[in-house]
Amino acid sequence: STIKRLSDDVVMHIAAGQVVDKPVSVVKELLENAIDAKSTLISVEIQNGGYERIIVVDNGVGMSKSDVRICFQPHTTSKIVAVDDLIALSTHGFRGEALASIAAVGSLSIASRQSTSVRGWKIEVEKGACVTSEPVGMPTGTRVDVRDLSKDMPVRKGKKPAFTKSTQEILDCIIRLALIYQNIEFILHSQGKRILHAESTNNPLERLYKLFGEAYRGHLIPIKSTDVRYR
């Protein structure tokens, strides 16, 4: 065999496999983007464990028309500019690969609007390329619609998607973030049925009771620490 330069399409799929290996990876990336966008309400809807469809809607600051039209391209991000920014990083994602990787293994639709704009902007992405771009009426925030992940997502040979397991993984991912960000309202729908609704609260214990049940009330011991590593 001889060494060959890989095509851009193969390179994108390899890169996608490092970021997106199953639906929960997609949900995690999109949720972190929504949190960084200062959202107070994030809604997730999935079909067939996310392999068929994932829709994440937030009420964050949104993106401008120009940002929407390039946000799916590799190494595009608003979170870093110079190497020094990597050291002082205070956001979740920063690689600028999430949307590009998702676009490489599924069909992607992104719509977003900033509060200073009278309308939003929507794009459709197929195989990493924008196929449509148009204005759209919508509230402030961002809506990301991912479809057909099972079609091009790298999977182990002979291993079929486990829809039930995938749904549980997505639920667990959202619960972990909901425990950290009590000021954000999280909603999850699967197959059109609501399976999680964590309303925002200023009380961490109330969020925990909401997620795990009233059986925990009265059986938890608060622990305080002055160590900055645990704040």
**Residues 6 or more apart whose Cβ sits within 8 Å of residue 4:** none
SS (H, E, C) 81-102: CCCHHHHCCCCCCCCCCHHHHH
CA–CA separation, 150 and 209 (whole Å): 35
Cα four-point dihedral sign 207, 143, 100, 165? positive
pLDDT at site 17 = 52
The answer, yes or no, to whether residue 23 has pLDDT greater than 70, is: yes
Q: What is the pLDDT of residue 75?
A: 65
> At residue 21, what are phi and psi to the nearest 5 degrees?
-115, -10
pLDDT category at 127 given cuts 50, 70, 90 is confident
Distances (CA, A) of 176 to 122, 139, 210: 30, 27, 13
Residue 134 has pLDDT above 50, yes or no: yes
Higher pLDDT pick, 131 / 13:
131
Distance from C-alpha of 222 to C-alpha of 164, rounded to nearest angstrom: 34
The H or E element that residue 196 is part of is: strand 193-198
Confidence of residue 157 (pLDDT cuts 50, 70, 90): very low
**Measured between alpha carbons, how far is 26 from 173 in angstroms, rounded to an integer?**
11
With tokens 């990301």, the residue in question is 144
| pLDDT tens-digit readout, 193-203 | 999 999 999 98
pLDDT surpasses 70 at 158:
no
The closest alpha carbon to 175, from 197, 202, 142, 203, belongs to 197
Region 76-87: mean pLDDT is 57
Residue 113 confidence (pLDDT) above 90: yes
pLDDT at 94 over 50: no
Whole-number average pLDDT of the chain:
83
Give the mean pLDDT of 62-90. 70
pLDDT at position 99, please? 82
